[in-house]
Amino acid sequence: MTEIVSGFSARQLLLRDGLLITDTVLAAFDDISLQLNTDAADITDLASTNRWREWQPASGRIGLNIEAEGFVVGSTATLISRAVAGTTHNYRLNYAADKAFSGLFLIAQIVLGAEGDDGDAPQSLRLTLSSAGAITFSTT
């Protein structure tokens, strides 16, 4: 079962620093947009019947983009340093209490909001992640 961060429901998305469900939660989001894109590769050559295009088996590309708004659970330093460096990292994204995407992602955009007035409130965050390799989808 997915860990619930205080103030959020099982509908939230948790961003974990690594591929395991036990890895540290970096951020929690309650406004989530997942976009899975697939592009098949097609070919046409002299052997193609009447020049009809043919799908190249097991080829093409698949990409997963995630846009989310929520808050930082710990320090922002990890997310900021990875975004500035433009490096990819393994993340696990748990959502809907029993589903997860995991794999290599790039932080394509990060927007940090102001911290709460009392200094104890979590910092707001808007984040865009783009897959950078094979992604695994799992349910528990």
> What are the respective helix, strand and coil percentages of the chain, to the nearest 5?
10, 50, 40
67 and 57 in contact (C-beta within 8 Å)? no
* pLDDT tens per residue, range 16-72: 999 998 899 999 998 888 888 887 777 777 777 777 777 776 677 788 999 999 988
Coil, strand, or helix at residue 84? Answer: helix
- SS3 (DSSP) at 68: strand
- Note the pTM of the prediction, 2 decimals: 0.76
Structure confidence by residue, pLDDT tens digits, 102-140? 999 999 999 988 765 566 677 889 999 999 988 999 997
Closest CA to 71 of 24, 117, 121: 121
